[in-house]
Amino acid sequence: MEKIPILKMGRFLLVTIQVDMHDQLAMQLQENLTDRIVAVRARGVLIDISSLEVVDSFIGRMISNIAAMARVLDAETVVVGIQPAVAITLVELGLSLEGVRTALDVDRGMAMLQQQLAGQR
Partner 1 sequence: MTPATGRTLRKILAQYQKELLGDWLQTQLAASTLRPDLMRENELREQSRELLALLQSAAQNGNLEQTDGPEWAGIREFLARLSRSRAQQGFSSAETATFVFSLKQPLFTRLRTEFAQDAQGLADEMWIANNVLDRLGLYTTEMYLKGREEVIQRQQREMMELSTPVVQLWENILALPLIGTLDSERTQVVMESLLQKIVDTGASIAIIDITGVPTVDTLVAQHLLKTVAAARLMGADCIISGIRPQIAQTIVHLGVNLSDVTTKASLADAFSIALKRTQAKLPPQMGTTS
Interface with partner 1 (CB under 8 A): 79-80, 82-84, 86-88, 90-92, 96-97, 102-105, 108-109
Give me the least distance between CB of 67 and partner 1, in Å please.
13
Give me the least distance between CB of 102 and partner 1, in Å please.
5
69 burial via Cβ count (<10 Å: 0-12, 13-18, 19+): middle
Contact 77, 45 (CB under 8 A): yes
Closer residue to partner 1 in complex, CB, 42/79: 79
Closer residue to partner 1 in complex, CB, 24/65: 65
CA 19, 46, 72, 34 dihedral sign is positive
Give me the least distance between CB of 27 and partner 1, in Å please.
24
Identify the CA nearest to 70 among candidates 44, 49, 88: 44
